[in-house]
A = this chain, B = another copy of it.
Amino acid sequence: MPEYPSLLLENAVNELSRLPGIGRKTAMRLALFLLRQDPVRTDALSKALTGLREGIHYCERCHNISDQQRCAICSNPRRDENTLCIVEDMRDVMAIERTAAYNGLYHVLGGVINPIEGIGPGDLTIAHLIERMQHEQINEVILALPPTVEGDTTSFYLHRQLSRPSLRLTTIAKGVAIGDTLEFADEVTLGRSITNRVLFEKVL
């Protein structure tokens, strides 16, 4: 007797367990859950996944995920077209949008430079970013990449590629999180918070 009583079940468990963070036991739990639900639910899930994979577009301007050629941000005339925020992926766009603290445009790199995983500048949307910088009237570029070695490497690379006298090149502030206790902040973060201290009157 094979380990699984049904080839259909085995096939579903195999496919589910290819997803990140889902092992064979979880995959089995998900498959049995779907079996207990109405078939309409499984159908809706399958259609949603296939629909996403086949129908998705990436904004031709900023590479954000979009249902149209241009995303809602790039086609919004009220956004500040002279400021460009550079992020790793579309989740960062959503996170920054939720803060309501930014009104410029974005450029989604699709990753960060990571030699260990074999991701170089050519695998990201950096060539298109450089082209955008030539055609669009950008006064400020904000580097909003993750505070990791890879993020910092990418920021440094972009700094070298994009620097020109007329451009204000900034990076998001890194330091102690609002509501954190200093005691429990890690030393690197707390150290940066002190090194990059700002005039008190500026935060008033």
Contacts and interface: CB of A to CB of B under 8 A. Distances in A.
Given A5-B66, A5-B90, A18 B35 contact: no
A56 B94 CA distance: 40
Contact of A46 (B46, B72, B94): B46
A31 interface: yes
A5 B52 contact: no
Nearest to A72: B1
Assembly of this chain: how many copies? 2
Contacts of A47: 46
B19 A30 contact: yes
A71 B5 CA distance: 7
Interface bracket on A: 35 or more
A9 B45 contact: no
Q: Binding site of A, secondary structure by majority: helix, strand, loop or mixed?
A: helix
A143 interface: no
Interface stretch (A21-29, A150-158, A162-170): A21-29
A67 B45 CA distance: 22
A11 B98 CA distance: 19
Query: Which of A14, A33, A53 has the most chain B CB atoms inside 10 A of its CB?
Result: A53
Nearest to A51: B8
Given A5-B64, A5-B72, A41-B18, A35 B50 contact: no
Interface in A50-74: 50-57, 64-67, 71-73
A50 to B, nearest CB: 5
A122 interface: no
Given A5-B73, A6-B57, 16 more contacts: A1-B72, A5-B72, A5-B94, A6-B66, A7-B67, A8-B55, A9-B56, A11-B48, A14-B48, A15-B49, A16-B49, A19-B34, A31-B49, A39-B53, A42-B52, A46-B46
Q: Which 6 A-B pairs have the closest CB atoms?
A: A46-B46, A42-B53, A12-B52, A15-B48, A15-B45, A12-B48
